[in-house]
Amino acid sequence: MQMDDVKIRNIGISAHIDSGKTTLTERILFYTKRIHAIHDVKGKDGVGATMDSMELEKERGITIASAATYCEWNGYEINIIDTPGHVDFTIEVERSLRVLDGAILVLCAVGGVQSQSITVDLQMKRYKVPSIAFINKCDRSGANPFRVIDQLRAKLGHNALAMQIPIGLETDLEGVVDLISMKALYFDGDNGEVIRMEDIPEKLLAEAKSRREELIDAASMFSDELTEAILEGDEITPDMIYAAVRKGTLKREITPVYMGSAYKNKAVQPLLDGVNHLLPCPSEVENVALDMEKNEEPVVLENDPDKPIVALAFKLEDGKYGQLTYIRVYQGTVSKGSTIVNVRSGKKVKVGRVVRMHADQMEEVEELKSGYIGALFGIECSSGDTFVSSGINLTMTSMYVPKPVISLAISPKDNKSQMAMSKALNRFSKEDPTFKTFVDQETNETIIEGMGELHLDIYVERMRREYGADVETGNPRVAYRETITQRADFNYTHKKQTGGAGQFGRIAGYIEPITDAEFIFDNQIFGGSIPTQYIPACEKGFKQSMEKGPKLEFPITGVKVVINDGAFHAVDSSDMAFQAAARGAFREAYSRAKPVVHEPIMKVVVETPPEFQGAVMGLLNQRRGMIVGSQDEGTMCVVESQVPLSEMFGFSTVLRSSTQGKAQFTMEFAQYRLVPQSIAEKIALEVAQNKKTAA
Amino acid sequence: MLKKEIIYRNPLVKLGYEQEDILLNGGLGAVMAHAGVGKTALLVQVALNMMIREESVLHVSLQDAVSNVDLWYREMFHNIAGSFTEPEIQEYWDKIQPYRFIMTFRVESFSVPTLEERLTDLLQQNIFKPHTVIIDGLRFDQAGREQLLLLKELAKKYAMRIWFTVHAHRHEPPADNGLPVSFLHVADLFDVIVQLEAKGDEVYIKALKGQSADAKQHSLLLDPATMLIKEGK
């Protein structure tokens, strides 16, 4: 481990929407002297929080794109990625977690572990990111940090350990008792920047002692030295406790819990101490790349600045001076003027300006060593690309990218907007792998696809604001799919002789349903009834047929095609003839294979005060939702359900009006499921109608 | 096929309760055992059996989150349907899942009026009408006879039957009739009582009350690996 590496922390701040993570980040930047004034998320001063740099984010009070920034605390360099809280932007959260070494899980002292905290926690588990928790909003009425700790244990299975206890709660919140130093900490000054350390108030002493005991007990599982000190009755030093808790944290077997109120400037600084003491430095995290030359064999990277470069571009942004590419360097040193290779395209790129970002302000640096996060200017690449030194061919593990479930037709209002729109679409699809765009060849419409209504809304809005593209949008369309439910044989001859060269090809075989793949082509022809050179044409013909079902025109999935016989003509057979024969054969068999339509089903979790539970369940039920269950959480209750995406349009408005705006919901893709017959008929009618209109 | 498999595995019919429903409208049933022996597993099997007969089950848990209860059902269903393919299991699961509704309460906030309020929410909007209710985690040493009487009334009023898990404490010696002392004050309200007992590596199931008189008492075992019923020796 290099000396300076020990004092680097690459962390993320992940949480449920509205649990106050942007405010927390703002305070962190203030205490680390990166900013000199505090602005609230939805502030009256009209400035907005520093991390919410996109205009739209400031307006809606939510964080969309993760801005990266760095700061220093007690000699440690901390790179922070602020991550979006809404589930529609989960890809951003996942991308951030990929490049982080540790995270702060922010929880609301009133709301506790909410549905999205569970999603975010699952993502952290997937990328094995060690975390510490911060229970925020302890100044709010109904705050109960120890209930949240219980929820961390029960709902997320964390071995959550309080590192502090609060001094007062709700409006009486004064500070915290640090269970390691056994001192009471108060936060004075206009913005809580002056820390006053005093003896623990008498009334809290007993609780502090028992909580400290709990903490030491749990930590001793990870340190022989600490266990020995307990058994021998020796003095237990703060270093001993930190070392043991740190070990547990890095293994993800302990989640240390800090608490306070970012908004009221209470106890943010001790959380930063916790980041320094307990989260890993880059060398302590194993990062694996795939060797493209050895059949994607995993290679463990060394966090050594002198080794060849391996860096990942995890975020792109359009800045004033061109494309800004956020990178995390895993190995080697990326310096100004050096040459790096984009593994995906094979292109060599010369590194121009290297900067470190502080939301939308930047600081120019000479180099980024392994373990660091920074940004490059003027590099043409896509998000998720790996950059390496010439001569090596490693790629960082590809990130899990979910398929889009919703689409929308957009059209520019005028010529100027046309140019701006295509520029914006190009940028967005590079920035966000879950955002896709294409032109429908039949209707000639530009279609955008994404992970939810809000996801697409935000991009349309960004198109207008950032690119000046005035666009009209059509109704959102759900990504239905077709599949077959039984085996059907085919024996199709394509024959055409209308002057000129004829066309001839016969294909026989069967199609059958499969569940573990989208399409399988199995050639079982022996004896050359179809010559080998035409087999790829047959496959291509079948694949083309899968793109659109013959009746409803949705993509077809889950089909295995087996061909076992056929015929050809020495003169008239060609690739084209066999492609056409395959398409004909598929059409012939498809209608007999009992095709059905599947629709995306979303997991919808609504959190509501108990008095609206009945109304919420009614709303979900009206939307063909299946309610899995309802969970009583004291002040709130959670209704879990599965609802077809097609029924979820406009749900947020209805939910707001039915619950006086007190309920909120998250939605994520769960599975594809068979559409009921009555709905399938409705869809068929709609498709026919659309076809008519298009014609 | 899968339907047959689940009916074949129905633990209670095998135990000598011949009627398909076992409990009648307004009836109360109890599965008692020490912690960790398999009370929930047994009742989830009873529930699955109802669900495949297209009878709705309301599962009320006072100890687990919705996702955990759901996991119990999925695991048990997979265990029972082990010999079928994944798509078959999924297809059948999608078919029967709407017959189940999970409701969880914290022990301290659970009360019969609250349960009735939630139940009316479901009934009035025609969202769910339970045929059977399972209440998992009610503390019988704390729940007074009054609460049980209210529940029995509720069962009658809505034409339901209610199954309970009863936690027998290890430190508590059983009464003469084999029932835990903390349960005696309400035992007469129950129509069916089944006991699970761990002996070494095996779990035995015994009918203590309510099986048909001429039914042959089988010796039934719960396989600790799958928590499913297996025939005794």
Residues of A with CB under 8 A from a CB of B: 154-155, 515, 613-614, 617-618, 621, 626-634, 638, 640, 673-674
Least confident window among A91-95, A390-394, A596-600:
A91-95
pLDDT at B111 > cutoff 50: yes
Q: Please tell me the distance in Å from B101's CA to the nearest CA on chain A.
A: 5
Determine, for residues A627 and B94 on separate chains, whether the beta-carbon distance falls below 8 Å. no
First to last CA, chain B: 27
What integer pLDDT is reported at residue A397 of this predicted model? Answer: 60
Mean pLDDT of chain A: 83
Residue B162 CA to residue B154 CA, distance in Å, equals 9
Element (H, E) at A631: strand A626-632
What integer pLDDT is reported at residue A13 of this predicted model? Answer: 82
pLDDT at A262 > cutoff 50: yes
pLDDT at A231 > cutoff 60: yes
Most confident listed range (A101-105, A582-586, A691-695): A582-586
| Residue B48: Cβ within 10 Å count | 22
Q: Is A408 helix (H, G, I), strand (E, B) or coil?
A: strand
Instruction: Work out the average pLDDT over A131-155.
Output: 88
pLDDT at A132 > cutoff 90: yes
Beta strands B132-136 and B161-167, pairing class: parallel
What integer pLDDT is reported at residue A322 of this predicted model? Answer: 73
The widest CA-to-CA distance across chain A, in whole angstroms, is 103
Least confident window among A112-126, A233-247, A261-275, A329-343:
A112-126
Q: Is A592 helix (H, G, I), strand (E, B) or coil?
A: helix
| Residue B182: Cβ within 10 Å count | 18
Query: Which residues of chain B are within 8 Å of residue A629 when distances are taken between CB atoms?
Result: 59, 66, 69-70, 101-104
Query: Which residues of chain A are within 8 Å of residue B121 when distances are taken between CB atoms?
Result: 613-614, 617-618
Q: Which of B65, B118, B125 has the CB atom closest to A621's CB atom? A: B125
| Closest alpha carbon within chain B to A673 | B94
What integer pLDDT is reported at residue B2 of this predicted model? Answer: 67
Least confident window among A511-520, A638-647, B97-106, B158-167:
A511-520
What integer pLDDT is reported at residue A61 of this predicted model? Answer: 41
Residue A553 DSSP class: -
Going by pLDDT thresholds of 50, 70 and 90, the confidence category of residue A44 is very low
Residue A466 CA to residue A417 CA, distance in Å, equals 12
pLDDT in tens, B29-77: 999 888 878 888 889 988 998 898 889 999 999 988 888 899 889 988 8
CB pairs below 8 Å between A and B: how many? 61
Residue A566 CA to residue A572 CA, distance in Å, equals 14
pLDDT at B222 > cutoff 70: yes
What integer pLDDT is reported at residue A59 of this predicted model? Answer: 46
Query: Which residues of chain B are within 8 Å of residue A154 when distances are taken between CB atoms?
Result: 65
pLDDT in tens, A463-520: 888 888 888 888 778 888 899 989 999 999 999 877 777 889 999 999 998 877 789 9
Residue A73 CA to residue A104 CA, distance in Å, equals 16
Query: Which residues of chain A are within 8 Å of residue B109 when distances are taken between CB atoms?
Result: 632, 634
Residue B7 CA to residue A478 CA, distance in Å, equals 39
Q: What residue type is assigned to position B89 of the chain?
A: I
Contact (CB, 8 A) for A637 and B105:
no
- Residues of chain A with pLDDT > 90, as a percent, come to 24
Query: Which residues of chain A are within 8 Å of residue B47 when distances are taken between CB atoms?
Result: none
Quick one: tokens of B222?
């719960």
pLDDT at B21 > cutoff 80: no
- Of A510 and B196, the one with more pLDDT: A510
pLDDT at B231 > cutoff 80: no
Q: Which of A618, A626, A638 has the CB atom closest to B97's CB atom? A: A626
pLDDT at B18 > cutoff 70: no
pLDDT at A318 > cutoff 90: no
Going by pLDDT thresholds of 50, 70 and 90, the confidence category of residue B12 is low
Least confident window among A497-506, B59-68, B99-108, B158-167:
A497-506
- To 5 degrees, how large is the angle CA A546–CA A552–CA A553? 40
| Residue B7: Cβ within 10 Å count | 13
pLDDT at A65 > cutoff 80: no
What integer pLDDT is reported at residue B119 of this predicted model? Answer: 92
Contact (CB, 8 A) for A565 and A508:
yes
pLDDT at A637 > cutoff 90: no
- The b-or-e profile of B95-112 (16+ CB within 10 A means b, else e) is ebbebbbbbbbeeeebeb
Residue A417 CA to residue A52 CA, distance in Å, equals 27
Q: Which of B103, B109, B127 has the CB atom closest to A634's CB atom? A: B109
pLDDT at B172 > cutoff 80: no
Most confident listed range (A108-117, A177-186, A510-519): A177-186
Calculate the dihedral angle through the C-alpha atoms of A109, A111, A114, A116, rounding to the nearest 10 degrees: -80
Q: What residue type is assigned to position B204 of the chain?
A: Y
Residue A15 CA to residue A85 CA, distance in Å, equals 6
Instruction: Work out the average pLDDT over B142-147.
Output: 80
Q: Which of B59, B69, B127 has the CB atom closest to A621's CB atom? A: B127
- Residues of chain B with pLDDT > 90, as a percent, come to 26
Phi and psi angles of residue A472, each rounded to the nearest 5 degrees, phi first: -105, 145
Query: Which residues of chain B are within 8 Å of residue A614 when distances are taken between CB atoms?
Result: 118, 121, 124-125
Instruction: Work out the average pLDDT over B90-99.
Output: 89
Quick one: residue A654, left, alpha or beta (phi over 0 = left, psi -120 to 50 = alpha)? alpha
Instruction: Work out the average pLDDT over A188-211.
Output: 88
Contact (CB, 8 A) for A598 and A483:
yes
Beta partners for B198?
B203
Establish whether this prediction's ipTM goes over 0.95. Answer: no
Contact (CB, 8 A) for A212 and A236:
no
* DSSP E strands, A179-280: 183-188, 194-198, 255-259
Q: Please tell me the distance in Å from A619's CA to the nearest CA on chain B.
A: 10
Going by pLDDT thresholds of 50, 70 and 90, the confidence category of residue B107 is confident
pLDDT at A84 > cutoff 90: no
Element (H, E) at A151: helix A145-156
pLDDT in tens, A444-455: 788 898 877 777
Least confident window among A112-126, A246-260, A540-554:
A112-126
Residue A439 CA to residue A420 CA, distance in Å, equals 16
Contact (CB, 8 A) for A78 and A72:
yes
Query: Which residues of chain B are within 8 Å of residue A153 when distances are taken between CB atoms?
Result: none
| Residue A193: Cβ within 10 Å count | 15
Quick one: tokens of B124?
């009035």
Q: Which of B86, B101, B121 has the CB atom closest to A613's CB atom? A: B121
What integer pLDDT is reported at residue A80 of this predicted model? Answer: 82
Q: Residue B217, exposed/middle/buried by CB under 10 A (0-12, 13-18, 19+)?
A: exposed
**Within 13 Å of residue B146, how many CA atoms lie on the same side as its CB?**
4
Determine, for residues A515 and B122 on separate chains, whether the beta-carbon distance falls below 8 Å. no
Going by pLDDT thresholds of 50, 70 and 90, the confidence category of residue A406 is confident
Instruction: Work out the average pLDDT over A547-567.
Output: 89
Contact (CB, 8 A) for A421 and A412:
yes
Residue B38 DSSP class: S
Phi and psi angles of residue A211, each rounded to the nearest 5 degrees, phi first: -65, -35
Residue with tokens 């294979």: A593
Beta strands A637-644 and A626-632, pairing class: antiparallel
Element (H, E) at A617: helix A613-622
- Residues of chain A with pLDDT > 70, as a percent, come to 88
Query: Which residues of chain B are within 8 Å of residue A632 when distances are taken between CB atoms?
Result: 103-106, 109-110
What integer pLDDT is reported at residue B106 of this predicted model? Answer: 83
| Closest alpha carbon within chain B to A513 | B87
Instruction: Work out the average pLDDT over A636-664.
Output: 85
- Residue B54 CA, distance from chain mean position: 16
Determine, for residues A617 and B121 on separate chains, whether the beta-carbon distance falls below 8 Å. yes
Residue A102 CA to residue A129 CA, distance in Å, equals 5
Closest CA to A642 of B119, B72, B101, B76: B101
Helices B39-52 and B66-80, packing angle to 10 deg: 70
Least confident window among A164-178, A395-409, B135-149, B165-179:
A395-409
